[in-house]
């Protein structure tokens, strides 16, 4: 399994690699090293460090990445490679073709290239079209991304398969009672502090809402200084904190206590695959507020489990917050319950696991059923 952070595999792909390990498969994680390595190894995975420039756009470095992937694939000789995140998907697929290794990418989002447009998007499309050309399966996490790839002829209809995000463990993320009615309302955004996640709009909304409701709290849970071109500087975050606009909660290995403490989970992102934070919030019966963009709109049922607002608009986000604050306590609980039921119907992690094992059986053996009964397969 490969991604641009070991943390990504540990936090978002655990159901898949856990099932692989339980069925006797050998799992190797190929990613840049971080603090998640020990967790992955304790779970039973092997780890191989991958050198890559996560945010750079240097063609020479990208060519080095293809060579690094090819070298690792030839050394590891996996029966299949499961890939996540943009660079790993594109350059890993090119290397897998050279190494003659089955490769299954998961398009978890389109990133800055598709948000920027112009030449950057043109180059990205050329790379996708070339790298995905002969792949038997390409997973997508929302209809919008899949339809865009089909429209731009980056993939063929027979290659695509839709997944409900990364799925959710409905027992681990159990519904939690809404905080008491007399407590000050808390909006919670769980995200790395990136411009493309809508942090600036979130802060603007906080400023607008607090003018009318000074006791309302706007919290952000996530890392500052992420390795990303749109990362927000710590000095800006400190200024917002000093002004009393937001509370930065830092990072955590377990978001559940923070979700349980909040009244509403917010994500004003510019574009997503299927945002895990919204799925987790809904599973724990929290109303949602998100932008009306690919990825987010697939999680939120407007006026039932939450509200959708305009992208890149702090004022629209503030209006959605006002609408939520105007609800009665019973209406807020009903909205959270509706979100939980949607997760139960559509986002159970079992759907993800079964889809991956069917795909693995198909690409490794030509028999969709055999991966369930043939142990000692090797997955990278």
**Euclidean distance between CA atoms 38 and 70, whole angstroms:** 25
Query: pLDDT band at residue 90, thresholds of 50, 70 and 90?
Result: very high
* pLDDT of 261: 98
Residues 6+ apart with CB under 8 A from 5: 31, 32, 34, 36, 54, 85
Quick one: pLDDT at residue 170?
Answer: 95
CA pair distance 22, 348, nearest whole angstrom:
19
Residue 139, pLDDT > 90, answer yes
Each residue of 31-55: pLDDT tens digit?
A: 999 999 999 999 999 999 999 987 7
pTM for this prediction: 0.83
Q: What is the C-alpha separation between 138 and 348, in angstroms, rounded?
A: 20
* % of the chain with per-residue pLDDT over 90: 81
* Residue 103 clears pLDDT 90, i.e. is over it: yes
Higher pLDDT, residue 177 or 166: 177
pLDDT number for residue 122: 87
Give me the percent of the chain exceeding a pLDDT of 70: 94
* pLDDT per position as a tens digit, 147-164: 999 999 999 999 999 998
Q: Which residue has the higher pLDDT, 240 or 231?
A: 240
Residue 59: its pLDDT value, please? Answer: 82
Could you give the CA distance from residue 2 to residue 313 in angstroms, rounded to a whole number? 35
Between 11-15, 222-226, 353-357, the lowest mean confidence (pLDDT) is in: 222-226
Mean pLDDT (whole number) for 6-20: 94
Q: How confident is the model at residue 303 (pLDDT cuts 50, 70, 90)?
A: very high
Helix (H) or strand (E) holding 209: helix 199-212
- Please report the pLDDT score of residue 371 as a whole number: 61
- Mean pLDDT, the chain, as a whole number? 92
- Say whether 231 sits in a helix, a strand or coil: strand
Task: Read off the pLDDT of residues 248-295 as tens digits, 9 standing for 90 and up.
Answer: 999 998 999 999 999 999 999 998 988 999 999 999 999 999 999 999
Segment 179-183 mean pLDDT: 95
pLDDT at position 114 is 66
- Listed in sequence order, the DSSP H helices in 111-164 are 111-116, 118-131, 143-151
Predicted pLDDT at 27? 97
pLDDT digits (tens, 9 = 90+) for 332-345: 999 999 999 999 99
């Amino acid at each position: 399994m490969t991604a641009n952070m070991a943390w990504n595999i540990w936090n978002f792909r655990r159901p898949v690699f856990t099932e692989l390990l339980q069925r006797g498969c050998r799992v190797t994680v190929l990613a840049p090293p971080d603090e998640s390595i020990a967790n992955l190894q304790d779970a039973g995975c092997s780890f191989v460090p991958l050198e890559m420039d996560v945010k750079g756009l240097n063609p020479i470095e990208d060519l080095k990445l293809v060579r690094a992937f090819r070298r690792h694939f030839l050394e590891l000789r996996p029966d299949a490679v499961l890939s996540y995140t943009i660079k790993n998907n594109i350059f890993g697929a090119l290397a897998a073709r050279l190494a003659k290794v089955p490769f299954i990418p998961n398009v978890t989002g389109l990133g800055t290239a598709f948000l920027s447009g112009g030449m950057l998007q043109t180059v990205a499309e050329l790379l996708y079209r070339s790298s995905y050309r002969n792949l038997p399966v390409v997973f997508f996490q929302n209809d919008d991304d899949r339809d865009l790839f089909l429209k731009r002829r980056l993939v063929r209809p027979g290659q695509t398969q839709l997944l409900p995000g990364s799925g959710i463990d409905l027992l681990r993320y159990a519904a939690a009672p809404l905080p008491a009615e007399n407590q000050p309302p808390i909006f919670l955004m769980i995200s790395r502090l990136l411009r493309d996640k809508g942090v600036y709009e979130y802060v603007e909304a906080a400023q607008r809402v607090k003018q009318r409701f000074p006791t309302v709290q706007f919290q952000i849970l996530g890392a500052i200084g992420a390795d990303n071109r749109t990362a927000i500087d710590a000095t800006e975050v400190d200024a917002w904190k000093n002004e009393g606009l937001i509370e930065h909660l830092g990072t955590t290995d377990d978001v559940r206590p923070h979700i349980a403490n909040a009244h509403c989970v917010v994500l004003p992102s510019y574009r997503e695959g299927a945002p895990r934070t919204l799925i987790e919030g809904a599973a724990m019966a929290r109303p949602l507020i998100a932008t009306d963009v690919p990825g987010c709109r697939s999680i939120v049922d407007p006026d039932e489990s939450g509200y959708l607002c305009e992208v890149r608009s702090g004022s629209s986000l503030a209006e959605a917050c006002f609408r939520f604050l105007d609800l009665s306590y019973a209406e807020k609980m009903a909205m959270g319950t509706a979100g939980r039921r949607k997760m139960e119907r559509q986002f159970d992690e079992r759907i993800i696991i079964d889809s991956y094992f069917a795909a693995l059986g198909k690409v490794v053996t030509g028999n969709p059923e055999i991966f369930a009964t043939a142990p000692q397969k090797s997955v990278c």
